[in-house]
């Protein structure tokens, strides 16, 4: 019986402490954003000896800046035209990639982008809002609905010509 009395006293004390603490009007959770560049996110240039380049680009998704890598194959050698200039600039079909829930572009997507870019396809690999190099708070907010919205924003950005004229936004890569 004494242990029941002690248990009730502890419960009452806990309730009194909870009621005495003022409620927070804003709840924040997650991780602080780390903006330190890693070797995995450095640009890739022709001097690196790969058949493509990689640079960082950004696009908007619902008022938040999303960070992306853009892999561009090195253009094939163009035969000289009658006027000494090369042929028309190459246009590359674009593959768009993002990670699954709870991860970012540095976590294993490079090897897939490397294979696509090595096969002559441009590749845009992006981080969802609140993940990786993208802006947004709270950090690492995993939401399938928001991720789909980010996919749609990435598609709109590419289809609108945001990457530039050397990218073919009308063609889908075929097997």
Instruction: Kindly write down the DSSP assignment for every residue of 96-118, as one continuous string.
Output: EEE--TT--TTTT-HHHHHHHHH
Q: What is the pTM of this model?
A: 0.73
Report if residue 43 sits inside a domain: yes
For the chain, how many structural domains are there in total?
1
Report if residue 9 sits inside a domain: no
Report if residue 56 sits inside a domain: yes
Q: What dihedral do alpha carbons 37, 110, 57, 94 form, nearest 10°?
A: 180
Structural domain containing residue 139: 36-168
Report if residue 123 sits inside a domain: yes
Please list the pLDDT of the chain residue by residue as tens digits (175 residues): 677 777 777 777 676 666 676 665 544 455 666 665 555 678 999 999 999 999 999 999 999 999 999 999 998 765 555 555 555 567 899 999 999 888 899 898 999 999 999 999 999 999 999 999 999 999 999 999 999 999 999 999 999 999 999 999 887 555 4
Report if residue 16 sits inside a domain: no
Which CATH number covers residue 96? 3.40.50.1820
CA 147 – CA 143 distance, rounded (Å): 6
Report if residue 78 sits inside a domain: yes
Residue 3 has a pLDDT of 78
Report if residue 118 sits inside a domain: yes
Report if residue 68 sits inside a domain: yes
């Amino acid at each position: 019986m004494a242990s029941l009395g002690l248990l009730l006293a502890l419960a009452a004390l806990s309730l009194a402490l909870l009621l005495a603490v003022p409620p927070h009007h804003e709840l924040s959770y997650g991780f602080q954003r780390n903006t330190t560049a890693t070797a995995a996110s450095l640009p890739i240039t022709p001097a690196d000896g790969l058949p493509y380049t990689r640079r960082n680009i950004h696009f908007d998704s619902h008022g938040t800046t999303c960070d992306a890598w853009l892999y561009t194959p090195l253009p094939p050698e163009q035969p000289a035209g009658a006027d000494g200039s090369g042929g028309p600039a190459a246009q590359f079909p674009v593959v768009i990639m993002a990670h699954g829930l709870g991860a970012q572009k540095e976590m294993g997507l490079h090897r897939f982008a490397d294979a696509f870019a090595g096969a002559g396809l441009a590749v845009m690999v992006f981080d969802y809002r609140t993940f990786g190099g993208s802006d947004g708070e709270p950090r690492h907010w995993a939401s399938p609905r928001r991720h789909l919205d980010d996919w749609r924003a990435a598609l709109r950005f590419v289809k609108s010509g945001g990457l530039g004229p050397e990218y073919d936004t009308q063609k889908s890569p075929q097997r």
